[in-house]
Structure 1
Amino acid sequence: MSKKEKPLGMRIGENVFCIGYLVFALVAGCTFILRAQATGDIFYSICAGMTLLLGCGDAFHLVPRIMINFKGATTIESEQRKRDFWLGLGNLVSSVTMTVFYLFFFAALSVKHGNGDISSVSGNRMILLMVLIVLAVIRIALCAFPQNRWFSKEKDTNWGLYRNIPFVVMGVITVGYLIMLFQEWLLAVLVTVSFVCYMVVVLGANRKPMLGMMMIPKTICYLWMISLFL
């Protein structure tokens, strides 16, 4: 076994978790669609878009990881470059979809705590949504810079920080309105934990790869959040 290869048990466990997460996101998304069709409630339509966007975006980086775990380590340079490309592309796509996820998240909460339709996103809530949209656009634009080195193993930690500054601000605003506007304390805790785990990975996983395991509690937070909407 290659020194760089994960133990078989770890690879199997990671694959089971990743596949379970993707199946859950698909089933939850389809459940929201069926509820939206049955009730005509726009809340479920927004939740369906939010959940399927998250699951499909994460699939871009989880499916390559699943395939790599099945195949094991490689010493073939061309194969490694191919893996780096697909993992990098997956991380780029999921960074974008995860950002847009919070726009759907805000809209869903506004409808849930409003009068049940899209007009609930008005007044102060519309201002907050516009601020989130601006931050999301800035974050996505920063993700597009080549200095991020998405397709290389040698990541630039500084750019990992730059592109995530607007994302963290989105998280702070999200937690703020969850507490002050909606009194959704459990969701506030889940969003906070997911952001903390994510930033630990962004800032530390390059130097200490085991910190990448923090993506597991981050993902569990997302599963819990979707479950609460269900």
Structure 2
Amino acid sequence: MQAIVETLFDMIYLSTVTFLGFKMLKEHGGRRQYALYGFMALILGFGDAFHLVPRAVALSTTGLADYTAALGIGKLITSITMTFFYVILCYVWRERYQVMGRQGLTKWVWILATTRMILCLMPQNQWISATPPLSWGIYRNIPFAILGLLVTVLFYQFAKKSEDTAFRNLWLTIVLSFGFYIPVVRFADTIPMIGVLVIPKTCAYVWTVWIGYKAMKIGK
């Protein structure tokens, strides 16, 4: 039952975000922010597929234990693509609100993203191990969480200041995604039921993508 429900949920998620991503790339009409948003959605979908597809195969066949290496490599790829997701979202912020200057802020975005990716690539993560160290799961997510917080604050401040109703809840989707993600990183290995939080986390990302798609369709 778990294999069926989880696989169905994951396939709907991947199909939804990639479909919306392609639609935005096709229909952005020269509006750079939506072209970026579409590309961001595709990175989200294709990146997560590297982890979710092997997981679906594992659940449907001989079990997760027999796919440790594939799942670990998939998590590594997903970690990198999720980092780029937030970098691109920062550029969406610049385009949407016509932010000029603030190059120091953009530099910090890249510093945090680069630090996160370097930490992800360190062998101490033991991605293909059945028991990767929790400590490195925390280390690599510190700059990621700071990056997410930075993007959250930017969208909250500028959407409020600009009375941007289309993007007024974008900051909330980021807060929710991290709010559900952090307990999974910290406790899922010792309390397996915590892993169920990936479902609302995933829904938060779908909401993020939907906000951009809906804004494009209504011309905001």
TM-score normalised to the size of structure 2? 0.89
- Equivalent-residue separation in structure 2 for 1:159 and 1:73 (angstroms): 25
* CA distance in 1: counterparts of 2:69 and 2:116, whole angstroms: 21
- In the alignment of these two chains, the number of paired residues is 207
Which among 71, 74, 79 is matched to residue 95 of structure 1? 79
Partner SS for 2:45: helix
- After TM superposition, the structure 1 stretch with the greater mean CA deviation from structure 2, 209-218 or 134-143, is 209-218
RMSD: 1.5
2:97 corresponds to which residue?
113
Structure 2 partner of 1:6: none
Matched, 1:123 2:101: yes
Q: 1:185 offset after TM fit, Å?
A: 4.2
Pick aligned residue for 2:114 from 137, 140, 158: 137
Shift, 1:72, TM fit: 4.3
State whether residues 177 and 205 of structure 2, in contact with CA within 8 Å, keep that contact through their aligned partners in structure 1.
yes
Query: Any unmatched runs of 5+ in structure 1?
Result: 1-8, 115-119
Amino acid at match of 2:101: G
TM-score normalised by length of structure 1: 0.85
**Cα offset, 1:160, TM superposition:** 0.8
In structure 2, runs of 5+ residues without a counterpart are 161-166, 214-220
Of residues 185, 188, 196, the one that matches 1:205 is 188
* CA deviation vs aligned residue, 1:140-166 (integer Å, no higher than 9, x gap): 000111111111121211111111110
2:7 is equivalent to residue 24 of structure 1: no
* Equivalent position to 2:55, from 59, 65, 68: 65
The list of structure 1 runs, each at least 4 consecutive aligned residues, that deviate by more than 4 angstroms after superposition, is: none
1:155–1:206: 8 Å Cα contact kept in structure 2?
no
Q: Which has the higher contact order (CA 8 A, sep 6+)?
A: 2
Query: Is this contact kept in 2: 1:194–1:218, CA < 8 A?
Result: yes
C-alpha distance in structure 1 between counterparts of 2:15 and 2:41, whole Å: 11
